[in-house]
Structure 1
Amino acid sequence: MTEIKTISDLEALRGEFQNYRNNFKSSLVLCGGTGCRASRSHILIDAVKDELAKQGLEKDVLVRATGCHGFCEQGPIVVVEPGNIFYCHVSPDDAQEIISKTVNNQLSLIR
């Protein structure tokens, strides 16, 4: 990685990241903080990636593991963008339904 020495360097790097993210139709933002990891979010992330591959969407949907969302007791957490659709207490078994209904058809799941 290039060393960032100036504000311009930082702005250029930000632009590169934004351009990369713009290559995807949507994003799945999954909490990767310690609370969610304790609730097995790392297994959920693998399940989401596997399901995207099964549905042929791995080049259309960006999977982003982030730090804590601040709702540890509600984890694992998934946010679907665009739309900012928020899911809590998500399990690996939910990956197929979230991708097929929310990512593909912009439908919110009600449980």
Structure 2
Amino acid sequence: MGFDPPPDDDQFDDPFGDDPLEDPFAGDPLEDPFADDPFGGGDGNSGDDLEEAFSEGSRSTLLAFIIVAVLVHAGLFSASLGVMLIGFRGQWVVGSALAIGGVLALGLAVVGYRRYKHSQ
């Protein structure tokens, strides 16, 4: 009754036992998803591209975007919070005021978007 040596395909063998400092995924194409980015994310000049994009855009476009984005976010937040206050807590006065204010903010966002769209 002797001891049999383990087979060559030992399940406890370390597959990365060659060099502990070598990256086993060095040739993996999914390692750097921005390496072939057409927008300049891989070469380190994305800040320059962003600055160039803001300098090329008009100030009225940026202002209209910010105003519409703030109105949409505030409108969705207040309308949904108002409906939840009414539904879950029964606070009709505060909930109704928030819901109506949110719907008005969303309406103002639509008006602002259409006004900017027709002015261009």
Normalised TM-score (structure 2): 0.31
- Highest Rg: 1 or 2? 2
Structure number having the greater helix percentage: 2
Structure number having the greater strand percentage: 1
